[in-house]
Amino acid sequence: MTETLLEIDHLSVDYETGRGDLKALRDITFDVNKGEIVGIVGESGCGKSTLISSILRLTAPNTRFREGEIRFKGQDLLQASERHMRDLRGADMSIVFQDPMQTHNPVLTIGQQMLDIQHRSKQSKADKLAHAAKMLGAVGIPDPEARLKQYPHEFSGGMRQRIAIAMALMSEPDLLIADEPTTALDATLEVQIIERLQELQREFHCAILFISHHLGVIAELCDRVVVMYAGAVVESGDVREIFHDPKHPYTRRLIECDPGHIKERARVLPTIPGEVPDLANLPEGCIFRDRCDQAMSRCATEVPPLDQLKEGHHAACWLNHEEVTT
């Protein structure tokens, strides 16, 4: 039985800027079920961080929620009180950030920081420390008791990221958000972290919202994937299905460009030609049209809707529409 944990429902978010409103997210809709791993892919600037900061309601001051709802366990987070959000953060939902070199307080030991994030717990200090050591052990930090006394700068990047994961999982949240947690690490460490996340997910049964611009990682880890382009969802569905039969030209290009997909490592990674449209000044029609090699005349004037092509597989491209109509 699948139970929905997080529902993003027609969410539109703007940033107020000197050049006018920058439409960072437009009409985003997707769900995350309990215990499921959902990946979000998209190039830099497509709005992935905006989306997760909206879920946590830790947005920049110039953020404006224009439309839609973010429902967590059925409750709309955009209407929730600041107090309620604070109670959710680090308890029911938590996050691992991109850069492990920046996410820890440089002047406190790891033990002090892990004690601090258990501030809601009524346990004794010794119990809290034991719990912290157990969590460090769970993410594969050797000799955790001794390591608790060390400062962040005494750990390598990969270790720091694992510590960040341990901290995020400490309260056994229902939802773990990971914002490109492996981007700052090299490939072997990336594999280790991904494997560790898989193990931990099996142990803690939390849902994971995994953000990456690396399709190979998503394919490895996730059950479902949401492909974003310039602030909109262009395709979403089962990972295997999308990899074998992508229904949006952008997804297709992403798969072709993915480093994990290239057999012989090319010296220069193929990239998609063209630029992302200006979000403060959106073009008419399909947002991907400038870079799409299959564009038709209709694409210039009409925005393709995000249609359901099969059970659980959505795409926003007029090419599929012809398939559907004929």
Partner 1 sequence: MEKSRSELGQIVVGVARDPLGLMGLIIVGVIVFCAIFAYWIVPYDPIAMDIKSRLQGPSAAHLLGTDQLGRDTFSRVIAGGQVALKVALPAVFGAMAIGLTLGMIAGYGPKWLDNLLMLFFDTIRSFPTVMFALAVVALIGPSLQTVVFVVMATSIPTYGRVARTQTLTLRNSEFILAERSMGASMARILGVHMLPNIIGVLAVLAAMDIPTVIALEAGLSFLGLGVKPPTPSWGALLKDGYSLIRQTPWLVVGGGLPIILATLGFTFLGESLRDVVDPKLRKQR
Ligand X SMILES: Nc1ncnc2c1ncn2[C@@H]1O[C@H](COP(=O)(O)OP(=O)(O)OP(=O)(O)O)[C@@H](O)[C@H]1O
Q: 117, 165 in Cβ contact below 8 A?
A: no
Q: Is 289 exposed, middle or buried (0-12, 13-18, 19+ CB in 10 A)?
A: buried
294 binds, among Mg ion, ligand X, ligand SF4, none (CB under 5 to 8 A by kind): ligand SF4
Binding segment toward ligand SF4, per CB under 6 A, in 80-88, 134-142, 162-170, 282-290: 282-290
- Pick from 219, 272, 274, 214: nearest CA to 244: 219
**C-beta of 160 vs 213, nearer to ligand X:** 213
- List CB contacts of 276: < 8 A, sequence separation 6 or more: 43, 45, 46, 229, 230
Among 18, 119, 188, 266, binds partner 1 (CB under 8 A): 119
**C-beta of 22 vs 133, nearer to Mg ion:** 22
Residues belonging to the chain: 326
Binding segment toward partner 1, per CB under 8 A, in 109-117, 128-136, 216-224, 314-322: 109-117
**C-beta of 113 vs 212, nearer to ligand X:** 212
Residue 194, both tokens: 């991904």
- Pick from 159, 115, 153: nearest CA to 137: 159
> How far apart, in whole angstroms, are the C-alpha atoms of residue 89 and residue 98?
18
> How far apart, in whole angstroms, are the C-alpha atoms of residue 38 and residue 272?
24
Residue identified by tokens 């005349």 is: 297
Among 49, 59, 103, 320, binds Mg ion (CB under 5 A): 49
Strands 175-179 and 224-229 come out as unpaired
Among 37, 68, 304, 313, binds ligand SF4 (CB under 6 A): 304
- The number of beta carbons lying within 10 Å of the beta carbon of residue 311 is 7
Binding segment toward Mg ion, per CB under 5 A, in 19-27, 45-53, 80-88, 143-151: 45-53
> How far apart, in whole angstroms, are the C-alpha atoms of residue 312 and residue 242?
11
What character string, x for contact with partner 1 (CB under 8 A) and - otherwise, covers 252-271? --------------------
**C-beta of 133 vs 233, nearer to Mg ion:** 233
292 binds, among ligand SF4, ligand X, Mg ion, none (CB under 5 to 8 A by kind): ligand SF4
Binding segment toward partner 1, per CB under 8 A, in 9-17, 24-32, 66-74, 113-121: 113-121
Binding site for partner 1 (CB under 8 A): 56, 58, 86-91, 94-95, 97, 99, 102-109, 112, 116-117, 119-120, 149, 151-153, 164, 167
